Chains A and B, each alone.
Chain A
Amino acid sequence: MKRSYVIKRILYAIFIFFVVLTLNFFIPRLGVRDPAERYYPPQGAMSEIEYEIIKQFTRAQYGFDVSTFQQYIRYIRGLARLDLGTSLRSGSPKVTALIGERLPWTLVLSVTTLIISLSIGLLFGTLAAWRRGRWQDTLLLNASTVSVALPAFFIALMLSFYLGFELELFPAYTNPNMVAQFDWSWEAIQVVLNNAALPIMSMAMGGIVGFSQSTRNSVIAVTNEDFVITARAKGLSHTTVLYKHILRNAMLPLATSIGMSISGLIGGAIIIEQVFNWQGMGTLFLEANSTNDYPLMMGIMLFLSAFAILANLITELLYVILDPRVTVGDKR
């Protein structure tokens, strides 16, 4: 029973991937009749005939010389080989290679932020739920409202200003040599941590508050359930009640929100990376944008979508494992 559910979800994920992939294919063709238009060099002093030849050459170079359908097939074939295309940069590096270079750096920020947000969030959320109505709880509620209203990039700017420029505790801009000089030595790692401190702080603030709030709501909802009274009526110690009964159930809906934050992890760091000039996927994407490097842009888009699909799928499957009630049928 469960197995068929798992298979269904995987097939569905593949289906969605196909739709997204198709969209990805067609988006760059928006707004122009001739999709190769964006790749043509400027006409300059060339005559019409010369320009026509150049255009044909460009089309062939970028694969626009075949029918759209064939291009689509080629695209899919490429994806099957994990080839996301070739960037327009000098040297024509593969998109996959570029992503591979920068992704780890984004992960440094995102994963650390996630871990920090989760652990502190769970702690504080449970505390706020336990002390419902008291100052810890009200503090959280106010912090939540404030945190949403203060965008992460604004916090980033303020931190960059005070901790970076004024107090000089951390570098306000990422050291441009950080990536090149990284050699897994302890000093290099320290440099990375030093530079990553402000970006992580900016992102973590919102994350902590967010997770605290979700945890708190979840724990309160569960604490009001009957089986918690049963557990207490059995005379179990209140730590047992808290961990085995309350938290074990409260974590379930959290799994979904964790999954969702994971998918937003990579794409969401774009602005923060920009503020600190951190050389990750976000800045890669912005660079691609400013140079109209469409293959790179769309390659990254597809990668991000695929990542989101995967994250969702894993979350759903995790839910199946954790919650014995989930068997067949969609939980809509």
Chain B
Amino acid sequence: MHLLVQIPFLAQLVTEEARLQHQYEFLSYGLTAAWVILAVYVLMMVGRERKLKREIAGLRAMLEEKHGE
């Protein structure tokens, strides 16, 4: 590999590939970060939705019980 890189054309090819790989790495970091932030927020929202539904059901049941008494 080291010897092959001594050939100018191949050296250029290797450098180009390394540059592309590096850039794709950063692009994927960027996209992953954006998706992860939005996904975490959506998951937080889902959790909150469940908690609210549970709370409403609990309070309604409690009120019905009190009315029954």
Query: A and B: real partners?
Result: no
